[in-house]
């Protein structure tokens, strides 16, 4: 289990945004006690708490492609990453690590959004395509790995847990009364609603 958090905005981020992303990341320390990473540019910040499982030495995140134009923060495991890696290397992609995380950035370079169709596993990731100023948020088909998001003005925030979004200071916690009866009856919410508005 790892923790991911961050945000992207169409406007230029302010000077305090790296700190905001760090605070969001560090409230998830229980999800990843083995390391912490942060990357930011003028429009996005990606943060990561790491639980080391695959490529203990080289799997630090956020991780980029060769020219640092595409960045990813990832929670989970791509079970078939060795097979996908072989296909990508045959197409000319060069790896720096043995991590399944790196397969995500190269697969996105090769197939765009369709990269997800090549992955088998349990995962949630945020990928920032810097030249296109585009954030791609992805969760595995069954939702094994959590991914929450919120929109505030021109900014999209994301995290493995809602408390990291709340920790940003940009979202005021407010109960979602529409799902209260469902939470009391089943102890969870179905669909896209949460206990927070």
Pick the catalytic residue: 1, 2, 102, 194? 2
Rounded distance, CA 53 to CA 59, Å? Answer: 9
What torsion do the CA atoms of 7, 64, 59, 150 make, to the nearest 10 degrees? 10
Neighbours of 141 (CB within 10 A): 11
Among candidate residues 69, 70, 24, the one with its CA nearest the CA of residue 49: 24
Rounded distance, CA 16 to CA 169, Å? Answer: 12
Rounded distance, CA 70 to CA 130, Å? Answer: 6
| Torsion sign (Cα): 12, 15, 21, 27 | negative
Phi and psi for 134 in degrees, rounded to 5? -130, 130
- Report cis status (omega within 30 of 0) of the bond before 62: yes
**Is 2 a residue of the active site?**
yes
What torsion do the CA atoms of 96, 100, 102, 108 make, to the nearest 10 degrees? 150
Residues catalogued as catalytic: 2
């Amino acid at each position: 289990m790892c923790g991911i958090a961050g945000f992207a905005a169409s406007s230029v981020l302010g000077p305090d945004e790296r700190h905001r992303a760090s605070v969001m990341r560090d409230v998830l320390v229980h999800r990843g006690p083995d390391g912490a990473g942060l990357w930011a540019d003028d429009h996005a910040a990606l943060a990561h708490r790491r639980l080391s499982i695959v490529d203990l030495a080289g799997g630090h995140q956020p991780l980029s492609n060769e020219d640092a134009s595409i960045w990813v923060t990832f929670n989970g495991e791509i079970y078939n990453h060795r097979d996908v890696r072989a296909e990508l290397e045959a197409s000319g992609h060069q790896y720096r690590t043995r991590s399944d995380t790196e397969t995500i950035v190269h697969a996105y370079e090769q197939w765009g959004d369709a990269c997800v169709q090549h992955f088998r596993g349990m995962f949630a990731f945020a990928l920032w395509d810097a030249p296109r100023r585009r954030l791609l948020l992805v969760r595995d088909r069954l939702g094994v790995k959590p991914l929450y998001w919120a929109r505030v003005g021109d900014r999209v925030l994301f995290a493995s847990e809602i408390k990291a979004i709340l920790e940003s200071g940009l979202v005021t916690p407010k109960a979602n009364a529409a799902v209260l009866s469902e939470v009391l009856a089943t102890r969870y919410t179905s669909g896209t609603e949460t206990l927070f508005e």
